[in-house]
Amino acid sequence: QSALTQPRSVSGSPGQSVTISCTGTSSDVGGYNYVSWYQQHPGKAPKLMIFDVNKRPSGVPDRFSGSKSGNTASLTISGLQAEDEADYYCCSYAGSYTHYVFGTGTKVTVL
């Protein structure tokens, strides 16, 4: 099972919006509405930011939103803030055999 494809990096100025894509196949992203997104700061454990494509856990700012079209999921961060600078990973359920597959990861830089 290959990793989901994400851009290596995206950047934006404070207050701007950035969107991270996550491209898979019909066996993972396109086949299930079980895409999640994680934020990871250096040296820290990942933190769940989005689940089930577009739902936010309590405590996650509504600046973070998720969507999906076909085999590609997206995470949008609106009103970019300095503390949003981190690595972001998508993850999809991929069926009972493979089970889960992560994306390659995207570094978000706040200029």
Q: Does 101 bind other proteins (CB under 8 A)?
A: yes
Number of neighbouring beta carbons within 10 Å of residue 70 = 10
Q: Is 88 in the site for other proteins (CB under 8 A)?
A: no
Q: Does 26 bind other proteins (CB under 8 A)?
A: no
Q: Interface with other proteins includes 3 (CB under 8 A)?
A: yes
Strand duo 9-12 + 106-110: pairing: parallel
Q: What is the C-alpha separation between 86 and 43, in angstroms, rounded?
A: 11
The answer to whether 77 and 17 are in contact (CB under 8 A) is yes
User: Which is closer to other proteins, CB of 12 or CB of 46?
Assistant: 46
Residues lying near other proteins in the complex (CB under 8 A) are found at 1, 3, 32, 34, 36, 38, 40, 45-48, 51-52, 55, 57, 89, 91, 93, 96-105
